[in-house]
Structure 1
């Protein structure tokens, strides 16, 4: 894409990137750029603030997960090249956004982290071969001066290059942070590693006692593991919105002067006429011109009963056409469809989630400047008080090593790993370590109905074997969800003859020489009911009609789960896209004091936002496409293992099995993890308060400092093992 950026020269030598602008109907325009190097909320804030200050820029939105910066322009002065130049000055290279290039860049970053981690592992293991003989002097097995010097040089020859290469991700991040006028956690790590290498070479050249090449490369190896895990979590977050858009059909059947043509979605414009056959998914939002059918909107609205549609009705992208052939007129482009809107909500939710400030970052904001100041004062003060520059430098390095944020950095990750393992054994997969922190804070739980409080599949109520057997031949010939449930109850068997599907009404055929119908009440010849229950009717011509009622069974432990949550001081409610009668019944069965029905995906997301605006910390538990935006907006989110893949990716935790008590278990473990993390922070703070003065006074040399640092890390790790234990 760098070639594209430089392709066409513009005024004053600036490249012409107008081809990448998207023009709006109101004269406004926008461009999407791929920004590299932005990793934290401070980066996001700085980039957006700088871009918004440029002439003619009306809006700038950066998504840290995808690296996509959307810039809106007003008036005729839109200049994407000016934006790219401003980003270059900030230290964030940018190019016109291309999904393929974005994925390739993300993959390159992952490969670079894996390679750096492999180099650090190699360096740590091989440096130890030369470090262990140096340590032997502590046990009365002193090496001769010449042998000691050789071992130190060999240790440096292996460890230093590995540490320099493996430390590049931290060095680059620290440099960008310092250029921005702030210090992140990578700054003390980088300074500690560089000074450790410097003092080790100094000791080697001056034939001193100790070198610490092994400590530097081992520290980097442990930290790179954490950086790679963070990269993997970002990959999960990136896929949520993509999975939603993947539900759109990759192509559509368009009628051009009566001739059918398969065209990609990008070519569809409002006014085009499409054909959608039974079993196909609607590619875009469109209005029915001709035909009647039933649509499966369960993934969009959560409503279990298929919806009948006819001429003049609007159909949403992502719905499945069940019965009849439809001719549709395109109402919106694919990027403007309801499904694309939900994907944008998920993306926005993922971006706001990345703004969550972790406790470790807050501690580092105080820790970093204090430790650097203390180390500098140790060097200057020691030299001023009569110590030689070599001894003063050793004490300053000892301060940096002994207070290296290893224990502070492990305080939360060690707890998160332990908590994740505990929950995994309970059938809960934790996808984000930060989610455990948020889950411990929740005070309000929102449940979807279909597929969460219920099992998500219609079942026949009080089936009469004789009646089921009569209707089964027609049920087996239909693709209708309720007919499939009836067919499943009957088992395998004969199929009716001369079967004809009536779109939006039902199916008819010949059973044993007699014509029969299965479907809606009016279709079978019964006076229309109020439709408050999910039902099918069956009957032979001129004979008694049989009614089959269906229900979505409530999970066995749903009531127990809601009672347990309320006993822990949390409030609960049910939000569903299903009809009020069905939601009211389920809410009463599970003991939910509050419920709302008939909600769209946007309305669910707005409900979550409203609770957050009222100061509530919301846990959203959902499984459908209509829940994906709410899952992304919530403070924490969970989805069952049977959920749509897009919803699982939008959630922080996924629980398997049919039990809802996993939600209670997850909250209990998360609260325990928060307690262990706070204890670890307390210990790390106490350790630094004791160790730092000892290093300043010369009681701790760099070697002992390395041992103390490792010991503090071991303590917080052992304490983390208590997480969630009983």
Structure 2
């Protein structure tokens, strides 16, 4: 009696009679695996959706539960059974288990790589000893001894290091399909088998080194790809970190208790204290607090939450206590909606198929047919089994997809290094190809085009006033107060300062009252209105010392090179637009300074996705650059995405790459380097194709021995590797990308001098900042 796991409790029953099952799948390593799983599950009756996610190792299956009796709908057991028949093991999706499995697989690949490299080095030394000798130096007995010593090293090394390929090939053959690991496995085993046979017959040549070197090359590429995919797994963990597990619930009059969020229902009352992350979506019915919503909305200026205001799970109460009537708790919150949008967007983007994987679809069948046809042709021509077999193995060895397997990973390694030197860190293995195809760039404003921390727009105020305001600001947790403290360079707070929730901070200094906070609380409404009128984008904070009032304007400063970089991008034919959840005044001001005519403000995460999907539907390849949690779904929905290193952890995980520093130049550098890298990737694939087009007919004709085939195969691998190094040389020739983009029109592509860039941006200087940023009055008007 077999013990079959029951997955029925993991089936989610949706509206309209649709059932949904999400599973983690082991053994999914490439796009061919995804297609095999999706097509296999899609053949089950009444299945409406089968989508595999290579990055997350997940499969989502949906089916109609009201199918006709003649075609009974599947259940969880049928789905898991079909996956098992295809050669893939499934279990309920658990982010922690998937992450642990990925780490274990990475360590396994690294051990295999280490064994293969160590064995290849030792066998190469033995091979050099044989090749370097002559008839007078090495006797046949000594040569046989070297061959057997190589076999003693190679056979156990291949048995251990080849397991990733052997397992994948076995699964494919059991499912009556082919993948790229099948010819690799056949080539390695054929080279080993022929080497053993030749050694038994005291032949002059053996090919143990070729088999082990092939494994070492391919394991290096697979480890790189798997490691990059593993680094993108932190999305679920980062979202979980924002979700409060418990909340303080009112049980009755004056009685409260901390309970799990799952136990809270709509209509309940919860208490939110200063410094706590809000656990629910709801409406404030009592209290007042400044709310940091930057991780959810992208707006860095705290919002004031008072009676009647809406608050959202994942936001932070800064300075006051709130009583909130729950609208949604465990399910249905804005954070839950962001999670759902993110999963959907990542799932859609996982359909991308890389160049090497597209090539592998036709490569494996061609290799097998060529080898079998060679064997049959020589036998038909009257050759003996030994000659026909040796010739067929030579064809397998000479066509073994080492060059094809290295064509992409070799360029990835070199380009990744060039990107790192330019301040860009990759999270995704296929980001290079997707970055290279971009024609439209969508930019968030807050924290992306601007620096993450707000700063004083101007410090045209007496140093004494700024210093005193800065000392008082040290006693407040408000971001605007922190900007004043940084501008003043304050280090010693005023004694006995008291913070009034939702208003500001006050203290006494040399017998006078001093206060810093809301203009109305400091009696500076008129001065604040004047500053706001001169600079609508700025936020204001007031400082009062006795009867003297100063209003500071604070806003996020544009990145130093943002104007030049955006102008250069537009001059090189990229369409640029801004999507931001910030206020219209703030977004329009930045758009004017950058010369960007297409911008939208106050957009929600769903609206950002809708805009990106519309651009993609129009045929554009979209790069999204953003930093807030509200940007994470849009980052995943775009063709490729980038975020600054100061972004929220969730956003960095959702992005394909992260850029360092306070400049925007790494964005331009990433586009330049990846365009060149994609060109070299294509060249490498063509080199592999041309090599096979020349080498295969020669091998089929029996004009090469397996040794020459092994040397030719290694030579083609070296050729694509050397060509890949041009990606590094090309980046070096351009110099530092930060300086390359010091002005508009800097080149970011390999255009010839006569090429004309469409949509070239017009010249012109950026408008000056409006108005004075600080308004000071010596004495407040008593009237």
**TM score, norm. by length of structure 1:** 0.91
> Paired residue for 2:457?
461
Contact 2:221/2:406 (8 A) holds in 1: no
Of stretches 663-672 and 234-243 in structure 1, the one that deviates more from structure 2 is 234-243
The DSSP-based 3-state class of the residue aligned with 2:393 is: helix
Aligned equivalents of 1:352, 1:637: Cα separation in 2: 14
* Offset of residue 266 of structure 1: 4.1
Aligned equivalents of 2:603, 2:83: Cα separation in 1: 41
Contact 1:299/1:319 (8 A) holds in 2: yes
Aligned-pair Cα RMSD in Å: 2.8
* Offset of residue 21 of structure 1: 4.5
Contact 1:619/1:638 (8 A) holds in 2: yes
Aligned equivalents of 1:241, 1:496: Cα separation in 2: 44
> Paired residue for 2:586?
582
**Deviations 1:58-109, CA, capped at 9 Å, x for gaps:** 6554433233334456659884233322322222222233344333333332
**Deviations 1:28-53, CA, capped at 9 Å, x for gaps:** 76544332222334433443455465
Paired residues, what number?
713
Taking the TM superposition and a 5 Å limit, the aligned residue runs for 1:17-36 are 17-22=7-12, 30-36=20-26
Aligned equivalents of 1:52, 1:270: Cα separation in 2: 39
> Paired residue for 2:498?
499
Aligned equivalents of 2:678, 2:58: Cα separation in 1: 33
1:360 aligns with 2:343: no
1:524 aligns with 2:519: no
The DSSP-based 3-state class of the residue aligned with 1:619 is: strand
The DSSP-based 3-state class of the residue aligned with 2:484 is: helix
TM-aligned CA distance change 1:384 to 1:23, over 3 Å:
closer
Q: Which of these residues, 541, 557, 563, is aligned with residue 536 of structure 1? A: 541
1:145 aligns with 2:148: no
* Offset of residue 402 of structure 1: 1.3
Contact 2:515/2:543 (8 A) holds in 1: yes
The DSSP-based 3-state class of the residue aligned with 1:704 is: helix
Aligned equivalents of 1:181, 1:18: Cα separation in 2: 29
* Offset of residue 557 of structure 1: 0.7
Aligned equivalents of 1:609, 1:389: Cα separation in 2: 59
Contact 2:32/2:357 (8 A) holds in 1: no
TM-aligned CA distance change 1:406 to 1:26, over 3 Å:
closer
Of stretches 359-368 and 508-517 in structure 1, the one that deviates more from structure 2 is 508-517
Aligned equivalents of 1:482, 1:135: Cα separation in 2: 74
**Deviations 1:499-553, CA, capped at 9 Å, x for gaps:** 24132x4344444444454333333342685784311223367x35432211211
> Paired residue for 1:274?
270
Of stretches 493-502 and 110-119 in structure 1, the one that deviates more from structure 2 is 493-502
Contact 1:245/1:340 (8 A) holds in 2: no
> Paired residue for 1:669?
673
Of stretches 101-110 and 682-691 in structure 1, the one that deviates more from structure 2 is 101-110
Of stretches 261-270 and 223-232 in structure 1, the one that deviates more from structure 2 is 261-270
Contact 2:34/2:54 (8 A) holds in 1: yes
Aligned equivalents of 1:53, 1:310: Cα separation in 2: 55
The DSSP-based 3-state class of the residue aligned with 1:683 is: helix
* Offset of residue 498 of structure 1: 6.0
1:551 aligns with 2:546: no
Aligned equivalents of 1:18, 1:396: Cα separation in 2: 50
> Paired residue for 1:11?
none
TM-aligned CA distance change 1:383 to 1:437, over 3 Å:
same
Q: 5+ residue gaps in structure 2?
A: 67-72, 734-783
The DSSP-based 3-state class of the residue aligned with 1:356 is: coil
Q: Which of these residues, 117, 122, 133, is aligned with residue 113 of structure 2? A: 117
Contact 2:232/2:428 (8 A) holds in 1: no
* Offset of residue 569 of structure 1: 1.0
> Paired residue for 1:654?
658
> Paired residue for 1:222?
217
* Offset of residue 305 of structure 1: 1.4
Q: Which of these residues, 101, 107, 127, is aligned with residue 105 of structure 1? A: 101
The DSSP-based 3-state class of the residue aligned with 2:452 is: strand
Taking the TM superposition and a 5 Å limit, the aligned residue runs for 1:189-268 are 189-257=184-252, 258-268=254-264
Contact 2:85/2:175 (8 A) holds in 1: no
Aligned equivalents of 2:336, 2:146: Cα separation in 1: 62
Aligned equivalents of 2:703, 2:46: Cα separation in 1: 61
* Offset of residue 351 of structure 1: 3.1
Q: Which of these residues, 692, 704, 707, is aligned with residue 708 of structure 2? A: 704
Contact 1:134/1:210 (8 A) holds in 2: no
* Offset of residue 259 of structure 1: 4.1
Contact 2:642/2:655 (8 A) holds in 1: yes
Aligned equivalents of 1:35, 1:326: Cα separation in 2: 44
Of stretches 575-584 and 644-653 in structure 1, the one that deviates more from structure 2 is 644-653
Aligned equivalents of 1:540, 1:341: Cα separation in 2: 46
Q: Which of these residues, 421, 424, 429, is aligned with residue 420 of structure 2? A: 424
The DSSP-based 3-state class of the residue aligned with 2:231 is: helix
Q: Which of these residues, 24, 29, 32, is aligned with residue 39 of structure 1? A: 29
Taking the TM superposition and a 5 Å limit, the aligned residue runs for 1:312-711 are 312-463=308-459, 464-465=461-462, 466-469=464-467, 471-490=469-488, 491-495=490-494, 497=496, 499-503=498-502, 505-525=503-523, 526=525, 529=529, 532=536, 533-539=538-544, 543=547, 545-711=549-715
Aligned equivalents of 2:706, 2:130: Cα separation in 1: 14
Aligned equivalents of 2:265, 2:137: Cα separation in 1: 82
The DSSP-based 3-state class of the residue aligned with 1:554 is: coil
> Paired residue for 1:287?
283
Q: 5+ residue gaps in structure 1?
A: 7-13
TM-aligned CA distance change 1:78 to 1:353, over 3 Å:
closer
Aligned equivalents of 2:307, 2:347: Cα separation in 1: 40
Aligned equivalents of 2:711, 2:176: Cα separation in 1: 33
TM-aligned CA distance change 1:685 to 1:451, over 3 Å:
same
Contact 1:245/1:343 (8 A) holds in 2: no
Contact 2:580/2:603 (8 A) holds in 1: yes
* Offset of residue 20 of structure 1: 3.8
Contact 1:497/1:511 (8 A) holds in 2: no
Contact 1:212/1:703 (8 A) holds in 2: yes
